[in-house]
């Protein structure tokens, strides 16, 4: 049950939101990652795990749609944040829970990047790439309105540099080619470095 005041209208929105997300993401887990300070009071967002969307874990914010929460609309309209991981990873849920508040201050669009620093305390992931979870924008609907899903993918410093110089579309293609998309995977090698090694080997082979 959501960590919110027992408000019939709020619970009606919560249930309708889940009903809208379920056809896309599968059934949510019974566990809810609760924010210490409720989103409506200026805190972070509650997050729901959806264990059946992909192998591993998928975490999705569950408070940014369905009512005027102050989120800045983008090309997706109002939207929820999501992140996919290879295994259970509560810190990924914490990331999008905190990032939810930022969506009330700035517009986040597919194809954009954001510096992340050492949030995951790992050796490689240093930024986020925002993307559609599928080839085309994904929308879900409840109470007669459409809302979007914005996927957050952890990327390395080399990938961030590549995306900003060569375009995030090319970076996204590399992440898919190397089987990283849609996951955030701490301590992984950069796909840019892998791609450069392949090109170097081909040049040596044909020289």
**pLDDT tens for each residue of 2-53:** 444 457 888 899 999 999 999 999 999 999 999 999 888 899 999 999 999 9
- Domain assignment present for 1: no
Beta-carbon contacts of 79 under 8 Å, excluding residues fewer than 6 positions away, are 64, 65, 71, 103, 147, 148, 149, 150
Domain that holds residue 159: 8-206
Report the number of distinct structural domains present in the chain. 1
In a domain? residue 19: yes
| Nearest alpha carbon to residue 63 among 120, 101, 8, 9 | 101
- Bridge-based pairing state of the strands 79-85 and 113-115: unpaired
CA distance linking residue 164 with residue 184, whole number of Å? 19
Residue 2 lies in a domain: no
The per-residue pLDDT of the chain, averaged, comes to: 91
Residue 3 lies in a domain: no
Task: Provide the residue-wise pLDDT of the chain in tens; the chain has 207 residues.
Answer: 444 445 788 889 999 999 999 999 999 999 999 999 988 889 999 999 999 999 999 999 999 998 888 999 999 999 999 999 999 999 999 999 999 999 999 999 999 999 999 999 999 999 999 999 999 999 999 999 999 999 999 999 999 999 999 999 999 999 999 999 999 999 999 999 765 544 444 344 444
């Amino acid at each position: 049950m959501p960590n919110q005041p027992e408000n019939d209208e709020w619970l009606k929105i919560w249930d309708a939101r889940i009903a809208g997300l379920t056809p896309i993401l599968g059934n949510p887990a019974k566990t809810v990652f609760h924010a210490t300070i409720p989103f409506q009071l200026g805190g972070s967002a509650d997050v729901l795990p959806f264990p059946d969307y992909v192998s591993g874990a998928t975490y999705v914010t569950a408070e940014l749609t369905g009512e005027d929460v102050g989120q800045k609309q983008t090309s997706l309209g109002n939207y929820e944040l999501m992140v996919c991981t290879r295994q259970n990873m509560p810190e990924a849920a914490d990331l999008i829970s905190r990032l939810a508040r930022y969506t009330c201050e700035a517009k986040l669009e597919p194809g954009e990047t954001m510096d992340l620093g050492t949030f995951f305390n790992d050796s490689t992931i240093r930024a986020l790439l925002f993307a559609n979870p599928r080839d085309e924008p994904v929308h879900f609907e409840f109470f007669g309105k459409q809302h979007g899903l914005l996927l957050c993918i952890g990327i390395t410093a080399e990938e961030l540099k590549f995306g900003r110089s060569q375009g995030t579309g090319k970076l996204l293609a590399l992440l898919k080619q190397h089987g990283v998309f849609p996951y955030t995977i701490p301590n992984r090698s950069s796909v840019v470095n892998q791609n450069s090694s392949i090109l170097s080997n081909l040049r040596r082979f044909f020289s």
